[in-house]
Amino acid sequence: MKIEILGTGCPKCKNVEENVKKALEGSNKKAEVVKVTEIGDIISYGVMSTPALVIDGKVKVSGRIPDAEEIKKWL
């Protein structure tokens, strides 16, 4: 599984990363977590507001911070 956090490194993006880690800790899932910070790469997903979360190539959320429980449902 590949999880991508889209954003320029702002505090909200860091919160998403923390929540992803919490969600993974509470599951038996293994994932590669990648930060995508280049604007062109972010736009290529069709995302216009960050932070955004992409799991296996599918945008799950953009423009807000999902909590760990919500992320667990997507895993």
Give per-residue pLDDT as tens, 37-71: 999 999 999 999 999 999 999 999 999 999 999 99
Cα 73 from Cα 60, distance rounded (Å): 11
Give yes or no for residue 26 having a pLDDT over 80. Answer: no
pTM for this structure?
Answer: 0.92
- Which residue in 3, 5, 13, 16 is the catalytic one? 13
Residue 53 sits in a domain whose CATH number is 3.40.30.10
Question: Does 50 participate in catalysis according to the annotation?
Answer: no
Give the domain range for residue 48.
2-74
pLDDT reported for residue 9 = 86
User: Among the listed ranges 14-18, 24-28, 40-44, 54-58, which one has the minimum average pLDDT value?
Assistant: 24-28
CA angle 17, 9, 16 (to 5 degrees): 20
- Which residue in 10, 39, 43, 48 is the catalytic one? 10
Name every residue whose Cβ is closer than 8 Å to that of residue 56 and which is 6 or more positions away in sequence. Answer: 1, 2
Give yes or no for residue 28 having a pLDDT over 90. Answer: no
Q: Number of folded domains in the chain?
A: 1
Question: Does 13 participate in catalysis according to the annotation?
Answer: yes
How far does the chain reach from its first CA to its final CA, in angstroms?
A: 9
